[in-house]
Structure formats: C-alpha cells, structure tokens
Amino acid sequence: IFETMSGEAIAKAAEQYKDWSKLVVFDEKAAVIHASYKTDAEELKEFLPAFKERGPTVGKGLTLAKEHYDVHRWSDNPCLAYGRSGKPGNMQGICLHKFTNEKSKKDLYAVITFGGDATTARMVPKLVEFCAKHVATV
C-alpha cells in the first residue's frame, strides 16, 4: 500500500522541523510508516477513534510515549486534536492530525510533540503543512 511512501523520505523532510521532539506517521491500522522514537502499537491504536467524537478525546486526552497530554482543542474538519502536559515553564505540547493520502485514498495520522518556546499556534500549522507536502501526496 505504501510502496511509494518512504519512511526515509519522511524522515529527511522532517529534519527541517527542529522544534518537534517526536514525530510518528501511521496508517488506519496503526502500522508505523515513520517514527522518530520507539513506538508502542497499542498506544497508537488509541489515536484511531480520536475524530469520531469530541467528548471522549477531550475527556480522555492523548498519550504518546507514556506521556499523558490534556487535549484543549479538537476539530473534525480538518481533523486536529492538540493540547499540553506539564506545568508552566516545563510544558510539552502534542498535535494529532488525520488526513487522507491522495494516491491511496487511505487515512493517515501524524503526531508530533514539542516543548520549549514552541507554541501550538506555530506547531499545528507546521504539522498540517508537513503532512500536505510530504506525506499526503506520496
């Protein structure tokens, strides 16, 4: 299914996004296409229903690499969920984006985490742009 989609090409494209702590791109079965860290398949499966309903996703939050994040914003058009964990001065952000690969017509997911001075106002559009340019079209 992803014969033309290279995790290596995605990794190379992701190098320009220095603010991202973690990146994982996976399909509708939670099969990893690219990850910048050692993923947990069960954890990724928890992301799959995130855009069915707002309530459960915002209520439960998101967990990545065993770190829990509160979800502050949720949208199903475009499919985005994002939030933060930690305390002021030591916070990490997360963004989950669901989109469709233009060639395969399959749903794909990408998740990033970020910290430091990075804000969701900057990181969310960067993830959407990254997915559109480097993942949705290959």
For 89-129, write each residue's pLDDT tens digit. Answer: 889 999 999 999 888 899 999 999 999 888 999 999 999 99
State CA 125 to chain mean position distance.
12
Cβ neighbors of 3 (< 8 A, separation 6 or more) are: none
Question: Given the structure tokens 């475009």, which residue do they identify?
Answer: 78
Among the residues of 1-138, which ranges form H helices? 7-14, 41-45, 54-60, 120-130
**pLDDT at residue 138, rounded to an integer:** 65
Separation of alpha carbons 28 and 51, rounded Å: 12
Beta bridge partners of 99: 108
With a pLDDT cut of 70, the percent of the chain lying above it is 95
For 51-95, write each residue's pLDDT tens digit. Answer: 999 999 999 999 999 999 999 999 999 999 999 999 888 899 999
Q: Which two tokens stand for residue 25?
A: 């791109």
Global pTM exceeds 0.85: yes
Give the residue with greater pLDDT, 11 vs 73: 73
Q: Determine the straight-line distance between the first and last CA of the chain, rounded to whole angstroms.
A: 11
